[in-house]
Structure 1
């Protein structure tokens, strides 16, 4: 049986080939575009406010511009084109005539039943001969018949008749499936013949050369180079290098803003003539406002040589100072620069954490707060509230205030006095005051109720053990009254069940468990994933979900002791269905290794929110490390019986203390019945040494 390779001369199978290739690209891209986004900014609720800042249209325009970039227009266009090509190929498949080679059936050719005998077949063939013999029939032009087609038809009838009556031809049919004997094997290639026709070879080679030698390496190289250009904070590697060179151990808030302006992202934003356009006017406006720029920051701006960096720094100061530049294009660039700087702040934070110096770390988080709220470093946190200006702040704080008011302190002022300080000529109207107070009452102020150290499953903390810092905190928005007292049960931390491996390993919160209350009732504590509202940042041209960072610092050395742990979601609802605070106690945990020495170690616990000013919390906390031998001695006196030496618990006890557990001695029932005094002594010898458990 010979093989014959044929090409799809009429393009009958080529659409299948194109449809398959296009689907392999289009369908994965479609999934990538349509899958639900897991970013926090797309799932969080919002703080209710009708406040519209100045240039709200420009800010909304910059938000839409960022969304267009994030939606990846090129991918959307590719998907649309892919589906158009696939639809066209499906159409071609449907409308294109396809010839399908059928199994040869002589009965079907003659039109006789399979049960017919040889005489019946012969009689039927003679009748057909009288009709279709070339000498008996004439071509019908209406049916596009010719002498050749009539001859071919009669030949087919004759072959079918002989296949059923002639012994040799019948054997060919039975053995090979065709009266002519063995047939050639044809393999169809889904390529139009014109591609491989003589003279077109060089063009085919050219196409393959462009696809495989130019386009494919370009796409792969561009993807690889693009992925290598960015750090894990999604900042250009070159920008991280520039910020690293700007880093100093004693860098100030203004110095951090200057370091951020060295990002390469600003060069891409201010390309060509944009770097020089309006620079003189911008600098004049920024330097004319002496309310927030220090002499050092002014000098830094003046000494920069790069036009793009100089303009970027001026735009950042204009944004932080909320300066109206009097030019729509400059104001638009001002709002475009802030989200870029916020991303660069993450790179500066990573660099600061690597060095471990406390001042730059705190400065990085505070700079994030300033950028999100559009408040200059050192300015009043009250400027976060809608409609608040420097004049209103001065009226509230007084002319010669030594320190700024936080929003919490402002909301603690009696209502009548607070209203008289903010409402009036040159200050706020009644509606503006109401809007400001409404936003203040929704700010997520996380107040620490208790913080302590523990080792899971143990009563003592020994050197180099794996310690958990447990922070119990509640969201208490400013201005809340009748805040309920914290339940002692909520301040306790119950270890997860032994079979809850994910919780034991710290991969997720513990499963729902049943807790016993003081009155004897049992309730099931549900573990949820609650996300706080998006940051109220009307001047920032992007949405941002608040993040809380908790870390330990050694204030004496000015160093970070334990790196920050970041929290974005919580395990209990912040507000009820009516929108009122629940005052639920949230549990935040971070795990680290204890110092290798015995003693007391005092740390400064910092809890900072990256989205709001004045919501930070700092407290002193002491970690007590016990001597392992002393801890083992106390454990032996515990009222909990020691494990057997041959049990798993006994082996674990031996590994922790370095001493095998004592073997238990069993008392015979006769001995115990002989002396009730011994039994009473045994019952009263064990004492409960755990004094920190509260009912």
Structure 2
């Protein structure tokens, strides 16, 4: 920061000096200006002017003016300039020098200088200047370049330390779940910088005692994993992460601050962990990582009720509310908001919420960006069929519908289509310029416990459910093509288009995939459904197209044509016998010509083969 401040101060000073410094333009020696006559003056006028000046400016007659700081030397120099100007306009040799060199004295020596500070060129300072340059180029420059290089080598493409990525690869398992992801994140080296020195183990005993007493979200496996850990930094990191997810209020304010400080770092590490999961290709670890992002942003422990995302809903309130409904699974925000107003108020009041608290929770829930899928399909741009190895687009049509929305407008059928642009429209077929396409970003995530602003993201990918593998890697969407909210902040219910592009399988078949759409900011808003990609054999497509072309419309005067007319179908105009006769003759002649051409070509090919 200090170096940056000094740099900006230097730049500001240089700009100021350039603004206030006056530019000095070189003055051209002009004899007419010295004599005070126009350039059109004749030689007689020049001589007359010279005689008049000699009366007043000759050193024998001119008297120096002390008020103007004039001396005898000044008077002499002024008269010398007058003589030079007079000779430059009357004497041939002097005039030639003036015309050729711009000076009556002839060619002058030219010197070029470099604008250097005086202390740099002062005699005796050379050794110090060399010493400074040697230090800059030989010590500081290699130091900064080396620091940058080795620093970049310590960080991966996902902006985490290489050592942290190595720990993730070591602890990765195919069956890792949400609890396992939280335990894995604590192995990152980044936390050592946050919990360095005395912070490494300060308050760890008090923290673990409080955590094990109040955090019912910890499984027996999690408790053993925490208690058996020897690394003090990792042990405290893991305890703080679980305290953050379980929303355990700690008595020590320093521990509370550290608890909230670790969450953004853990989220960054978890986003990098997705790349580790994709390297192995298993579906469950990827989904577990996405769910962990939701847990970190909302400060909700894995497998906890989604209603904890709403204000004033704590574990006791949610438990009492779910007990009233005899729920075997946790109640989602959508299910709670779908209850009639009276029933919802009755459940909340019985669980211990006041009317004002319920209104606040409903207000927040009715603004959450829940992305509801309306239609999914596969397509190839400009083609009716999908053939092997073609470039396929998986298109998802969806709308943002907040939970509890009652009056949802109908979707126009045209909004669920993805029409290709006309082939003649070069502008539409060219790659769109991102600057011209206005993208609309959803509101920041409602995350009161997360210490950073976060913009929601949606991850879309295809998986093979039978093998448990990711078939098409995730595409991440942070902006959308249509406005999500209007100027008043109400949902627009616009149909959004999400596309992911990949290469079709090499063999014709019907491929069954499982589509996953996961939001990284909210729990319970994920979507999963089965989709089928039909890859057709190109030969069968060509045969079907030939059959379609062979089927012609019946003529008007035929029985089939009359039946088609009664049904309102299309028919061809009847052809007169003479025209038909001529056409038949023409066809016969054309056929003969074609046969001759075919025979000629065959002969040529045969000759070529024989040769």
| TM-score (norm: length of structure 2) | 0.83
Alpha-carbon distance in structure 1 between the residues aligned to 2:544 and 2:195: 68
1:114–1:454 CA distance, 2 compared to 1 (3 A): closer
1:630 matched to 2:540? The reply is yes
1:533 matched to 2:461? The reply is no
Alpha-carbon distance in structure 1 between the residues aligned to 2:97 and 2:492: 90
What residue in structure 1 maps to residue 478 of structure 2? Answer: 568
1:411 matched to 2:321? The reply is no
> Which one has more relative contact order, counting CA pairs under 8 Å at least 6 apart?
1
Alpha-carbon distance in structure 2 between the residues aligned to 1:296 and 1:392: 27
What residue in structure 1 maps to residue 601 of structure 2? Answer: none
- SS of residue paired to 1:171: helix
1:613 matched to 2:523? The reply is yes
- Larger radius of gyration, structure 1 or 2? 2
What residue in structure 2 maps to residue 547 of structure 1? Answer: 457
What residue in structure 1 maps to residue 184 of structure 2? Answer: 259
Query: In the TM superposition, what is the alpha-carbon distance from 1:455 to its structure 2 partner?
Result: 3.0
Gaps of 5+ in 1: 1-72, 512-526, 643-665, 679-695
What residue in structure 2 maps to residue 584 of structure 1? Answer: 494
Query: In the TM superposition, what is the alpha-carbon distance from 1:505 to its structure 2 partner?
Result: 7.8
1:671–1:440 CA distance, 2 compared to 1 (3 A): farther
Map 1:174-253 → 2, pairs under 5 A = 174-253=99-178
Alpha-carbon distance in structure 2 between the residues aligned to 1:528 and 1:176: 64
Structure whose residues are more often helix by fraction = 2
Query: In the TM superposition, what is the alpha-carbon distance from 1:635 to its structure 2 partner?
Result: 2.3
| TM-score (norm: length of structure 1) | 0.74
Alpha-carbon distance in structure 2 between the residues aligned to 1:237 and 1:165: 86
What residue in structure 1 maps to residue 12 of structure 2? Answer: 84
Map 1:281-360 → 2, pairs under 5 A = 281-360=206-285
Query: In the TM superposition, what is the alpha-carbon distance from 1:217 to its structure 2 partner?
Result: 3.7
Alpha-carbon distance in structure 2 between the residues aligned to 1:538 and 1:438: 15
1:604 matched to 2:514? The reply is yes
1:401–1:131 CA distance, 2 compared to 1 (3 A): same
1:502–1:231 CA distance, 2 compared to 1 (3 A): farther
What residue in structure 2 maps to residue 154 of structure 1? Answer: 79
- Residue range with higher mean Cα deviation, 264-273 or 346-355: 264-273
The CA RMSD over aligned residues, in Å, is: 3.2
- Residue range with higher mean Cα deviation, 195-204 or 346-355: 195-204
Gaps of 5+ in 2: 553-571, 585-611
1:556 matched to 2:466? The reply is yes
1:586–1:159 CA distance, 2 compared to 1 (3 A): closer
Which of the residues 497, 500, 503 maps onto 1:593?
503
Query: In the TM superposition, what is the alpha-carbon distance from 1:225 to its structure 2 partner?
Result: 4.3
Residue by residue over 1:411-445, the C-alpha shift from the partner in whole angstroms, topping out at 9 and shown as x without a partner, is 12222221122225x72221111010111111122
Query: In the TM superposition, what is the alpha-carbon distance from 1:620 to its structure 2 partner?
Result: 1.8
Alpha-carbon distance in structure 2 between the residues aligned to 1:502 and 1:610: 35
- Residue range with higher mean Cα deviation, 365-374 or 630-639: 630-639
Alpha-carbon distance in structure 2 between the residues aligned to 1:483 and 1:101: 78
Alpha-carbon distance in structure 2 between the residues aligned to 1:602 and 1:144: 102
Query: In the TM superposition, what is the alpha-carbon distance from 1:465 to its structure 2 partner?
Result: 2.9
Alpha-carbon distance in structure 2 between the residues aligned to 1:481 and 1:463: 44
Alpha-carbon distance in structure 2 between the residues aligned to 1:551 and 1:209: 56
1:580–1:157 CA distance, 2 compared to 1 (3 A): closer
Alpha-carbon distance in structure 2 between the residues aligned to 1:286 and 1:488: 54
Alpha-carbon distance in structure 1 between the residues aligned to 2:383 and 2:139: 64
Conserved? CA contact 1:502–1:508, under 8 Å: no
Alpha-carbon distance in structure 2 between the residues aligned to 1:430 and 1:188: 84
